[in-house]
Each structure stands twice: as C-alpha cells, then as structure tokens.
Amino acid sequence: MSDERRTTDDPAATDDPAATDGSDAPPRPRVLVDAMCGSLARHLRICGYDAAYALDRGIEADGRLRAVADDEDRVLITRDRELAAATDDAVLVTELDVLDQLHEVAASGLPVELPAEPRRCGACNGRLEPVDEPPTDGRPTYVPDDIHPVWRCQDCDQWFWKGSHWDHVASRIETLSSTPCVADAAEDNGVGSSD
C-alpha cells in the first residue's frame, strides 16, 4: 500500500468538507467502489466518504474503472483480484458480508468511523446540508415532526436524521475494533500495484 492515500496533498480530496468529520482525524480519500460492493458503498457514504459507485455511473469494464479512479483521483475498492493488482493503491475486499468488507477497508489503512454529523447521501453520494428549523410545509411525510437536526441531500433531496438506522450502523462500526475479520489479516490485504 502506498503511504499516501490521495488525501492531504490532493486538493480534490481535501476541499470537500465531507472528507473530514471536523475532528483531528485525517481526511478520508475519495473512493470508487466497484459493482460487486454496493452495500459497502452505502456504508462508506454513511462514514462520510465521497464514495462513487460504479453501477450508479454505468461503469463495469475494468479499464473504465481504472480510468475513472485515476481521472478523479479516487482509491478503487474492488472484489476483483486482477483489477486490484493492476491498479495503484487499490483496496481488495474478498469477503461478501459488508461488516467483513469494512474490516478489510479499515485494515488497509482507511478510517472506518462515523463522522459527528451525516455528510453524504447513502443513496446517491450527494453532499448533505443542514436544514434550519425544517418548515412543516416542505417537510417530507417520512420525516418525523419532532426530529431535529435534519439534513437534506443537495442532489436527490432525500432527508436524513440520526435515528435508529444511524444507531444501527454506529453499533456495527463499533464492533470493528473488537471483532476479528473473517479474512486472514496476515494475507496481503489486496492493495494493488502496477509494479
């Protein structure tokens, strides 16, 4: 794995306020998640990552995935061993379960933790913006009236709040530090190299 994950020296990765949770934690790199890892993409978005998902963009061909990762300066996360080996700084996930995949991502050196506030839409990857004192006339019916704060996706207008789903994801992520990953941690974690 490269010691630099396209973060601190890369303006494209650090100009996004969603790339960091506002703490002293290092910024999260932008990632591209392949077609076999849709649930992982949603979880990474909840963790504050700018996580582009290949199928959202209609990308399946390996060459195109590599080109997009390179053009947009994203770390590729894939289940494809050959693609990972052929792509600089790629992260290979070998497990099927999303919690095990999150273990693998964390073992690769990428932070897997919830930000203090939601930053990305789990559905479309758009940035979330806080909604000041939500108006009752524009509030979707699925948003409880007594919930505040709430956030709205700038791209798809979906609304979010810290409810039971947030708590469920938080409890799953908390187990990452105490639960061993199914994948053999001593095995090459799948960071690709073009050497």
**10-residue stretch averages of pLDDT, the chain, 195 residues long:** 42 44 68 96 96 96 96 98 96 96 95 93 95 74 86 94 89 75 46 40
DSSP H helical segments within the chain, as ranges? Answer: 11-14, 38-46, 62-71, 81-86, 98-107, 164-174
The per-residue pLDDT for 165 is: 86
Task: Report in angstroms the alpha-carbon separations of 43 from 4, 10, 102, 110, 168.
Answer: 23, 24, 8, 13, 11
Please tell me whether residue 166 adopts helix, strand or coil conformation.
helix
For residues 75 and 69, the answer to whether their CB atoms sit within 8 Å is yes
The per-residue pLDDT for 179 is: 58
The per-residue pLDDT for 172 is: 87
E strands present in 1-149: 31-33, 51-53, 75-78, 91-92, 128-131
76 contact partners, CB below 8 Å, separation of at least 6: 31, 32, 34, 65, 66, 69, 83, 84, 87, 89, 90, 91, 192
The per-residue pLDDT for 193 is: 38
The per-residue pLDDT for 175 is: 83
Rounded to two decimals, what is the model's pTM?
A: 0.79
The per-residue pLDDT for 138 is: 76
The per-residue pLDDT for 177 is: 66
The per-residue pLDDT for 180 is: 56
The per-residue pLDDT for 40 is: 97
